[in-house]
Amino acid sequence: MARRRQSVTIKHVAADAGVSLQTVSRVINKEPNVRPEMMLRVQESITRLGYVPSIAAQRMGGSRSYIILSLNDRDRTIADWRERQGADWVGQMLLGGMLTCAEHGYRLIIELVDTHSDHIERELLGAIAALQPDGVILTPPHSANPLITELLAEHRISFARIGSLKPGPGFALTMDDERAARLATEHLLDLGHERIGFIAGPADYELSGWRVDGWRQAMATAGYATAGLLAQGDFGYESGRDAAVALLDAVAPPSAIIASNDRMALAALDVARTRGLDVPADLSLISFDDTPMVHFTHPPLAAIAQPIAEVTARAVELIIADQMGRETPDGPTIVPASLVLRQSTAPPRRS
């Protein structure tokens, strides 16, 4: 019977390189206080022996777990997965977060948490106890939940808040949603639209208010009223349909609509079709998110492309910098979104 190969440990590396366990640990942890020749010697031993650092070995140099935990909205994330409609927030977050973590020897783990649960404190404490993360990334609406942010601050866990500018601890990051909504509105105004409807997202998302504010500011600057042009949605398809129906049933319906996410934009597009309206000849349409689904509609939808991967990567970098005692920004970090134009906007039809 073949003899089972003995796994290589940090002790084997230290013996091969002729250094202490602490020196190997410092090299593995990429700590700055290691002489270049010593670092080279240890790295050569690691390569020669085929050593793969373990979390336990990494933690020898300190109390770090090398795990960053991301908390996502349970109900909305599970609904997106089950409906399989192409929403890729989590995919883009993994792209930015996992790759950046890997560059620094960290791992990204996602937990789904219901921010409205009566047991959220117990649920969150359970995750922290099990994983002992070095840092936490909060996505909306968790990023604006004071119970979560105060609990993390109390346990001295470094965390980043994506999509929240509320005062308090943690690194605040935004995609400049207010400016993004202005960009979308100004594009439609430049085409000659005067009545531009807006389908808002749920109120428990801070960014929903920012987008409404950006739309209102652009309309006010151009000298146009917004009364009767705002409809409320919840990011779901049915709410988008109801909102589009309400806007188009108005006495003076809009000639263009901006929807706060792709799913509600698709609903608005379907409502327009059932009424015999041509997009963009009769109704211009712009979405938020720019997920794959809007690339293949007819016509393809113009959309605000949110840099989710980039903002998550920046959140990881801020947490790791804080762990390493490096300087971090005092104010919010802004990773701006952009407007991608496709075939769903045009000048309004003149009667």
Nearest-angstrom CA–CA distance, 130 and 151: 16
Residue 266 has pLDDT above 60, yes or no: yes
pLDDT at 204: 87
Q: What is the CATH number that goes with domain 177-306? A: 3.40.50.2300
**pTM of this prediction?**
0.78
Identity at 218, one-letter amino acid code? A
Task: Let me know: does 338 contact 321? Beta carbons within 8 Å.
Answer: no
Q: What is the pLDDT of residue 85?
A: 63
CATH level 3 topology of 10-61: 434 Repressor (Amino-terminal Domain) (1.10.260)
Phi, psi at 174, each rounded to 5°: -135, 165
At the topology level of CATH, where does 67-175+307-335 sit?
Rossmann fold (3.40.50)
Is the omega angle on the peptide bond into residue 141 within 30 degrees of 0, that is, cis? Answer: yes
Asked whether the beta carbons of 239 and 271 are under 8 A apart, the reply is: no
Residue 195 burial (C-beta neighbours within 10 Å; 0-12, 13-18, 19+): buried
What is each CA distance from 200 to 80, 151, 158, 214, 261, in whole angstroms? 19, 30, 32, 12, 9
Dmax over CA atoms of the chain, in Å, equals 88
SS3 162: strand
pLDDT tens digits along 209-262:
999 999 999 999 999 999 999 999 999 999 999 999 999 999 999 999 999 999
pLDDT digits (tens, 9 = 90+) for 158-178: 999 999 888 889 999 999 999
Q: What is the pLDDT at residue 5?
A: 42
293 pLDDT more than 50: yes
CA distances from 18 to 11, 22, 157, 269 (A): 10, 12, 36, 68
Helices assigned H by DSSP within the chain: 10-17, 21-28, 36-49, 55-58, 74-83, 89-103, 120-131, 146-154, 177-191, 206-222, 237-248, 262-274, 308-323
Domain ranges of the chain: 10-61, 67-175+307-335, 177-306
Q: How confident is the model at residue 63 (pLDDT cuts 50, 70, 90)?
A: low
What pLDDT, on a 0 to 100 scale, did the predictor assign at position 4?
A: 36
Run of H or E residues at 199: strand 196-200
Rounded-to-10 torsion of CA 100, 105, 110, 111: -140
pLDDT of 7: 74
